[in-house]
Amino acid sequence: MIGRTQMDGNEIRDLGAGANQTGVRAHNERLILSLIQRHGAMAGSDIAKRTELSAQTVSNILRKLETEGFLLRGEPQRGRVGKPSVPMALDPDGALSFGLKIGRRSSDLVVMDIAGEVLGQSQLTYRYPMPDQIFGYLETGMAALSEALTPHQRDRLCGIGIAAPLEIWSWLEPLGAPEDMAVWQGLVFEEEVARFSSLPLFTVNDATAACRAEHVHGRGRQFRDYAYFYIGSFIGGGIVMNSTVIEGAQRNAGALGSLRVSDPQGNVRSLLDMASLYLLEAAIEESGGDTAALWRQPQDWTGFAGELADWIDLAAPAIARGARAACAVIDFEAVLIDGAFPTAVRTVLAERVAAELAQLDMRGLVPPRVVEATVGFNARVMGAAAAPIHAQFFLN
């Protein structure tokens, strides 16, 4: 049974039913934690209705999770009849994790709690990433962020998540990176991290990580099936089906940047070469602008108006064609647009993609909604930090 609830006037899909058998306590605990994370504080009676678990099963699980420090008991809410209901909410300090996003122009590091709040963050920018630099940054950055945590929060750290492109050593020419980037090939992240931390490590494709962040903490909760486009140095994406982020057999599902689409001249090209930010970066460099400003926080792109307009003119039709191709394979109800750019840029791009898609031949297809995502620049690093928490405490 699929139920629905409301958040700011928008529907949030439920996660399905639980099971009452004695051998599935771990699954039911994850289900209840996921429901509370997704919908906010909930009383046991509401949880029982949504999960189809017995009231006694729910009560036992809530008591256990509260004792273990994952849930907080709210103030009793008295209704018209019966006993007051007691809403249970996630304890933000129930679990914390570090997240590292390794990008081709910058790396971001956060420490995040189980409720999705970023408690501390730092950034490293460069012309291209090298392992010694990146893992040195992770080691010192984790130590610095830990200092701002309370002793209890440090005790609740449950892991490290790293989000990186599938082949970070690839596509060197567009970025002007040297051939020695190949040192990344075959590098074992677990061995590098084990040199300075005993926390468990979870790795994920960077675009999939961004998709998970949007699905858990952003607008993705409103849809069951959607394609998610994330535009960074190279455009990538993610796929959500039946309210589940799909990683794929090779952990590369949603490689939307590899879709082949036609350019304004009718030539068939990779979406990577028509809608990636490296193209905007190259145009700014050619005009003598400060390309490093593209990646610095807070972002200020006001000096790139001309180059940005040209980039959107090229990228929006290409993304629309990519969205059509994706919807021809899977009947997505929505296409979400996100990226490593200011909110105003995301808004304009999403509107343009929607307008371009409306002009395409959609015979045989049900046109999806094209909507603006909400997490934005931090999606990849938040998705990285979410990986340890979701792997250990939530359902996908």
Residue 106 has pLDDT above 80, yes or no: yes
Co-location of 191 and 309 in the same domain? no
Q: Which of 41, 67, 90 is the last residue of a domain?
A: 90
Residue 231 has pLDDT above 50, yes or no: yes
Q: 4-30: per-residue pLDDT in tens?
A: 334 444 666 665 555 444 434 589 999
Preceding peptide of 298 cis, ω within 30°: yes
* Tokens at 26, concatenated: 């771990």
| Residue from 134, 126, 191 nearest 163 by CA | 134
Q: How far apart, in whole angstroms, are the C-alpha atoms of residue 100 and residue 384?
A: 6
* Tokens at 106, concatenated: 């910058």
| Residue from 98, 215, 212 nearest 160 by CA | 98
Q: Which of 66, 90, 114 is the last residue of a domain?
A: 90
Q: 330-385: per-residue pLDDT in tens?
A: 999 999 999 999 999 999 999 999 999 999 999 999 999 999 999 999 999 999 99
Q: Tell me, what CATH number does 53's domain have?
A: 1.10.10.10
Q: How far apart, in whole angstroms, are the C-alpha atoms of residue 289 and residue 293?
A: 9
Q: For the chain, how long is the longest CA-to-CA vector?
A: 72
Co-location of 101 and 179 in the same domain? yes
pTM (two decimals): 0.88
Co-location of 364 and 253 in the same domain? yes
Phi/psi at 246 (nearest 5 deg)?
A: -95, 125
Q: Do the domain assignments include residue 286?
A: yes
Co-location of 234 and 189 in the same domain? no
Q: Do the domain assignments include residue 80?
A: yes
Please give the tally of structural domains in the chain.
3
Q: 247-290: per-residue pLDDT in tens?
A: 988 888 999 999 999 998 999 999 999 999 999 999 999 999 99
Co-location of 252 and 332 in the same domain? yes
Task: Look at phi and psi of residue 266 and say left if phi exceeds 0, alpha if psi is from -120 to 50, else beta.
Answer: left
250: number of Cβ within 10 Å? 9
The mean pLDDT value for 64-78 works out to 92
154: number of Cβ within 10 Å? 12
Co-location of 179 and 228 in the same domain? no
pLDDT confidence bin for 127, thresholds 50/70/90: confident
Co-location of 198 and 129 in the same domain? yes
Q: Do the domain assignments include residue 270?
A: yes
Bridge partners, residue 113, by sequence:
96
Q: Do the domain assignments include residue 214?
A: no
Q: Do the domain assignments include residue 354?
A: yes
Q: Do the domain assignments include residue 347?
A: yes
| Residue from 160, 162, 156 nearest 205 by CA | 162
Co-location of 261 and 153 in the same domain? no
Co-location of 187 and 303 in the same domain? no
The residue segments making up the domain with residue 193 are 94-209+381-393
Q: Do the domain assignments include residue 69?
A: yes
Co-location of 264 and 171 in the same domain? no
Q: Tell me, what CATH number does 205's domain have?
A: 3.30.420.40
Co-location of 33 and 122 in the same domain? no
Co-location of 292 and 173 in the same domain? no
* Tokens at 235, concatenated: 């455009």
* Tokens at 268, concatenated: 């068939």
pLDDT at 22: 40
